[in-house]
């Protein structure tokens, strides 16, 4: 995969549009496989059944599952931002009542101007753990949400840097890809849970009345078993694969959003300080669940995989290590001060 940090803004935006399209196509094709794969297994299982019993010849499952996949993809894309905000219990900030809330509104307005985008809607998640995320479909339809815990611990400069980071995601159109992914991950998880409950309650795949030999003899019976096993494994692995995809999408984008946030504020040390406070928080962000974890500035689940790079961390981590992000930001601050002549040349 090409390293996204080597692309300019317009290339980033086009890459995210393209990846969103491919993500939706892959999602629909996966549902098509679940349907047509079931049709194929059922056809093999009933092909040698007696004439007076059911023969599965029309691909009902495939057509229905493909239609369901397309419908979920469309619904997830169009309503994803609202579903993400609803799942976190976020409350829209329309009439700020406290100094902290008024400060948040001012900061978002300032950073939207610096980023050259429309001011996003502002939401507060009633959670004491410091965190933040952005969601939306494009630069004119975006939302930024911060937890109450973030408002409580951050200075104005630190809050400004966190908001700038999230607006970096908005400007890059990361939010479109990551919000669509969050919606589809949630849909896969729901479908997986539903099928799991069906199987656990004694539901069967396939109908009665088939021949005892079924599926064209021993060779055909083996093909039925292989197809059926692959079909069941697909159901089992679907939410795991979706989670891995969400993790891979998120990691490199955090470094880029950090850099853009530092660019918008011209103060990388403020973001380094904010990330240090976020990392030092004791508890996970309980209001933000697994399906939306990749949207946040810091992993809301507090998983150990996010503490290092390489190996299994590249598979299981939603975010790059906080220490590495802070070190990069401090390096940016040093280079900026050196360029301004505040450090002597080596």
Catalytic residue list: 166
Compute the half-sphere exposure of residue 258: CA atoms within 13 Å on the CB side of its CA.
32
Rounded alpha-carbon distances, angstroms, from residue 131 to 117, 225, 257, 277, 326:
22, 48, 15, 10, 16
Query: What's the distance, Cα to Cα, between the start and end of the chain in Å?
Result: 37
Q: Is 203 helix (H, G, I), strand (E, B) or coil?
A: coil
Angle at 261 between CA 257 and CA 262, to 5 degrees: 120
Token pair 């919606």 in the structure block, residue: 183
Cβ-based neighbours of 96, under 8 Å, separated by 6 or more:
102, 104, 105
Residues written for the chain: 346
Is 288:277 a contact under the CB 8 Å cutoff?
A: no
């Amino acid at each position: 995969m090409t390293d996204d940090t080597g692309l300019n803004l317009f290339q980033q935006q086009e890459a995210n549009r393209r990846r969103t399209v491919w993500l939706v196509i892959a999602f629909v094709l996966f549902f098509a496989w679940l349907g047509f794969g079931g049709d194929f297994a059922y056809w093999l299982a009933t092909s040698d059944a007696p004439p007076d019993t059911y023969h599965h010849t029309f691909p009902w499952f495939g057509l229905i599952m493909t239609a369901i996949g397309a419908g979920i993809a469309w619904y997830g894309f169009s309503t994803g931002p609202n579903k993400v905000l609803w799942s976190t219990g976020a409350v829209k900030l329309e009439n700020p009542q406290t100094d902290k809330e008024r400060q948040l509104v001012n900061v978002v307005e300032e950073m939207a101007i610096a980023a050259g985008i429309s001011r996003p809607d502002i939401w507060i998640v009633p959670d004491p753990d410091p965190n933040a995320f952005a969601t939306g479909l494009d630069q004119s339809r975006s939302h930024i949400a911060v937890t109450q815990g973030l408002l409580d611990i951050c200075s104005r400069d630190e809050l400004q840097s966190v908001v700038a980071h999230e607006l970096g995601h908005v400007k890059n159109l990361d939010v479109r890809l990551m919000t669509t992914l969050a919606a589809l991950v949630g849909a896969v998880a729901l479908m997986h849970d539903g099928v799991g409950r069906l199987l656990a309650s004694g539901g069967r795949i396939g109908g009665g009345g088939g021949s005892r030999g079924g599926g064209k003899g021993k060779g055909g019976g083996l093909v039925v078993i292989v197809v059926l096993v692959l079909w069941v494994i697909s159901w089992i692995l679907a939410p795991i694969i979706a989670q891995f995809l969400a993790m891979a999408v998120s990691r490199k984008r955090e470094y880029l959003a950090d850099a853009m946030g530092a660019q918008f504020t011209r103060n990388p040390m403020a973001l380094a300080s904010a990330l240090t406070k976020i990392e030092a928080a004791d508890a996970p962000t309980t209001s933000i669940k697994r399906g939306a974890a990749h949207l946040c500035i810091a992993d809301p689940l507090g998983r150990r995989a996010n503490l290092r790079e390489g190996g299994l961390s590249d598979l299981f981590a939603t975010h790059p290590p906080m220490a590495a992000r802070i070190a990069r930001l401090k390096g940016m601050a040093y280079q900026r001060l050196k360029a301004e002549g505040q450090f002597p040349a080596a």
